[in-house]
Amino acid sequence: MASPLRLPRFKLMGIVPLLALILLGIIAWSSWYTVPSDSVAIVQRFGKFKAEVPPGLHFKIPLGVDVATILPVKRQLKQEFGFYTEGATNVDQYSDNPAAESPMVTGDLNVALVEWVVQYRIAEPTNYLFAVREPGITLRNASESVMREVVGDRTVDEVLTIGRQEIEAEALVKLQQLATRYLMGVSIDQVQLKNINPPRPVQESFNEVNQAQQEKEKLINEARRDYNKVIPLAEGEKDQRIREAEGYRLKRVNEAEGDVARFNAVFTQYQKAPDITQRRLYLETMQAILPGIQNKIVVDEGMKNLLPLLNLNTPTKTPAEAAP
């Protein structure tokens, strides 16, 4: 009968301490952990929530009894839809098939390729871990659902051109409401649209239409610029002419009123003493006329044969020439 196989005693004596040393190393390594400054740790004991731990060095029961899950609550996270950025550290930042997320049906039954980004923060770590299963994927599904709803309420022209800000604002509000209703534990900071294009078969035609619209807007702006340059100048000239006419009207009215007042004053005096007033008017008129006449001849009413006395061949001298 064969004897049983026996290991050498000295070999067993060397392996046991080695195994004990390895076990002690595993226990020591798994009994502490470090929480970064922008994160917190959720500690679970036998799978049940135990505590929320702040940043720093901490210890736990090893060998899987306590499990610490670190969540970056102070860091802004993002999810990309319709495209992806290489080197992303967040496993939920993009999906496996980004091209399937971008095609969307608009309200007028057209198709637009929409790419967008959702930026969020973990606001309630316990809800983020325990209230929703796979919170990152759930948030992606909710974001895509909200964006398809918002885009479906608008025409393709609004989506491609003037409706970007309204879409971003409405999607942000609806996504935050949905995250609050589902207790996701996240705070939505921003919903930002990236590239919005028509389907590739019609992109060239759309670009031509877009260029035509831009040219139209350019011509309209140039016309408005010329309008703003010419019309104010014409309005200024019009106002100036009106003010000049108003000034001339006031001048003529005042002059006419002054003449009327002067005539009325003279007429009142004339009614009181007609002969004296008539004589005074005659003298005042002659006083205004005679200084402008160079040669003056005073003739008696009863005098006859005036022509022989006049030397019509003698040249008339001006007052300056007649002076010595």
Q: Residue 91 and residue 136: Cα distance in Å, rounded? A: 8
Q: State both tokens at 57.
A: 């060095």
What's the token pair of residue 229? 């340059």
pLDDT tens sequence for the chain (324 residues): 455 555 455 455 667 777 777 777 777 777 888 999 999 999 999 989 999 999 999 888 888 888 999 999 999 999 999 999 888 888 889 998 998 999 999 999 989 999 999 999 999 999 999 999 899 999 999 999 999 999 999 998 899 888 899 999 999 999 999 999 999 999 999 999 999 988 888 878 777 877 888 899 899 999 999 888 888 888 888 899 999 999 999 999 999 999 888 888 878 877 877 888 788 888 888 888 878 777 766 666 666 655 544 555 555 555 555 555
Cα torsion through 142, 143, 144, 146, rounded to 10? 80
**pTM across the whole model:** 0.60
Bridge partners of 120? 77, 188
Question: Residue 137: CA atoms inside 13 Å, Cβ hemisphere, count?
Answer: 4
Which residue's entry shows tokens 């006449």? 293
Tens digit of each residue's pLDDT (9 = 90 or more) over 87-106: 888 888 999 899 899 999 99
Other C-beta atoms closer than 10 Å to the C-beta of 207 total 12
What is the distance between the alpha carbons of residues 313 and 311, in angstroms, rounded to a whole number? 6
Helix (H, G, I), strand (E, B) or coil at 59: strand
* Residues contacting 290, CB < 8 A, separation 6+: 296
Residue 265 host element (H or E)? helix 203-272
114 vs 200: CA distance, rounded Å: 12
CA distance linking residue 267 with residue 270, whole number of Å: 5
Residue with tokens 């495209």: 83
- State the DSSP string of 111-124: EEEEEEEEEEEE--
Residue type, 262: R
Distance (Å, rounded) from C-alpha 213 to C-alpha 160? Answer: 13
How does pLDDT run across 249-305, given as a tens digit for each residue? 999 999 999 988 888 887 887 787 788 878 888 888 888 887 877 776 666 666 665
